[in-house]
Chains A and B, each alone.
Chain A
């Protein structure tokens, strides 16, 4: 299973300072993928800060974030939760054999209209 990253590493990769958070929950209030996530944006901020990282790494939540930056833009404290979620996701998919999306799976996902943009974006988000 995933061995947890240290908090400092995730903060360094993301550039996020979770101590700026005032726990208002606006990130999770505005998140369009909230219902699909087991852990929500505000929990990422809080859990990374307290070193509770393994559950986040093992959760599908990291693949549900749409990177739409709504939480980043609307956070009144400038915390940027999406960047923290990205850091956790990267920490996971960078490990050997952890690619979430495999090239072999792609043909089954396509239809005639799907733009190339969707495929490259998904690969960048889900795999290394």
Chain B
């Protein structure tokens, strides 16, 4: 099975391991991720302003390409996923903006949100299935206590993302258990790490990240997994004394594609 794939800027640079192990692992389940031709950066954050058209173009081009190939579009970076899914939702539900964007793209066919967008986690759950993953595990995590960190981008706005219960998500916990680990539930797992504020207010980012780390640790987590390079950066930068890794690394490790992730 072939699916379109939007890696995004960070996955080509600082978050290469998020990308590489996503691709390698999917091959094991018979899914080839075909990178979108000439993809452009999604912009990192979605602009909710109704008169902000230009910032949506990169996402629409990627969505359109996937749709025209008859493929669903997979992303693995939380930020790209958030921007692209929100843009797709807008194209589907706001004809006026879809028309405006069509005039920019101007290639003869208007895009109105027909493509299906999957986060890699959704792909694992809905296309591969956690039971299938469980069968392919060669290096089970042996009950390692792992806290999934969702942050804000994966789940919200929930009416658009529709990935999981935004207040009590289970998708990463189910993955952890499929890989043989023990998932640790902690309340701050869906709170913001500070995100881009790290650029101008390291202090605020530190406060927010610390709350996440502390809450995870008090709940018993020995490791944190995330799907977002910026979350990982903020948690590590602000002194997490437990490892913070991409979920794809953990997946690849359990599947025997990668060595130990305990850095």
Contacts and interface: CB of A to CB of B under 8 A. Distances in A.
Interface of A: 12-15, 32-33, 36, 63-64, 66-70, 72-73, 80, 82-83, 86-87, 90, 101, 109, 111, 113-122, 124-126
Nearest to B204: A36
A82 B45 CA distance: 13
A124 to B, nearest CB: 5
B229 A124 contact: no
Contacts of A121: 43-45, 79, 195-196, 230
A125 B156 contact: no
A90 B229 contact: no
B3 interface: no
A67 B195 contact: yes
B15 A115 contact: yes
A113 B9 contact: no
Interface bracket on B = 35 or more
Contacts of A120: 9, 41, 43-44
A121 B13 CA distance: 16
B253 to A, nearest CB: 22
B215 interface: no
A45 B43 CA distance: 27
Given A67-B45, A117-B79, A122 B236 contact: no
Nearest to A113: B233
A12 B155 CA distance: 26
Nearest to B233: A115
Contact of B48 (A12, A73, A83): A83
Contact of A101 (B14, B51, B199): B199
B77 A117 contact: yes
Given A80-B157, A101-B199, A115-B15, 9 more contacts: A14-B48, A32-B194, A109-B199, A115-B13, A115-B14, A116-B41, A118-B44, A121-B79, A121-B196
A115 B195 contact: no
Contacts of B49: 13-14, 83, 86-87, 90
Nearest to B12: A116
Contact of B158 (A12, A68, A73, A80): A73
A120 B12 CA distance: 14
Contacts of A33: 197, 204
Nearest to A87: B49
B152 interface: yes
Nearest to B13: A116
A126 B197 CA distance: 10
B10 A32 contact: no
A115 B10 contact: yes
B243 interface: no
A119 B157 contact: no
Which 6 A-B pairs rank lowest in CB-CB distance, beginning with the nearest?
Answer: A121-B44, A68-B192, A68-B152, A69-B156, A121-B196, A115-B229
Interface string B191-231: 11011111111001000100000000000000000001110
A118 to B, nearest CB: 5
Most buried by A among B15, B52, B166: B52
A125 B45 contact: yes
B15 A73 contact: no
A13 B50 contact: yes
A64 B43 CA distance: 19
B17 to A, nearest CB: 12
A14 B47 CA distance: 10
A124 B199 contact: no
B55 interface: yes
A125 B196 contact: yes
